[in-house]
Copies of this chain bind each other. A is one copy, B any other.
Amino acid sequence: MIVSHISDVEKEKVEMEGVEGVWIQWLIAKKDGAENYAMRLFTLEKGGKIPIHQHPWEHEIFVLEGQGVIGAGEEEKEVKAGNFAYVEPEIPHWYRNTGDGDWKFLCVIPIKE
């Protein structure tokens, strides 16, 4: 068993075109022996955003704190702590912090060879 705490995991700045104020922490991943899916924690600072993008894998998201908008396809949804989302593979999607502080959510993705 591996047990750790989010305060002990390095925060890496997400560097991608159009991304502002976004940090990722890889909580559970292949390095830990996980073979099927990885758990990451995203922090979007106030005003932070991830612009529209798409990829062949799904997201399972759980919001821990703060508030923001998740967009996918033709719709946007306001979310806050206790909201969760399933974002289908290949659907264009985006994120925007709409609150006054950090917006934090878990995002689980499949691990593929």
Contact = CB atoms under 8 A, between A and B. Distances in A.
A77 B36 contact: no
Contacts of A106: 62, 106
A35 to B, nearest CB: 8
Contacts of A34: 58, 60, 86
A39 B58 contact: no
A82 interface: yes
A75 interface: yes
A62 B39 contact: yes
Interface string A57-83: 010101010000010110101010011
B1 A88 contact: yes
A27 interface: yes
Interface in A83-113: 83-88, 91, 93, 106, 108, 110
A108 to B, nearest CB: 6
A88 B2 CA distance: 9
Contacts of A37: 36-37, 60, 108, 110
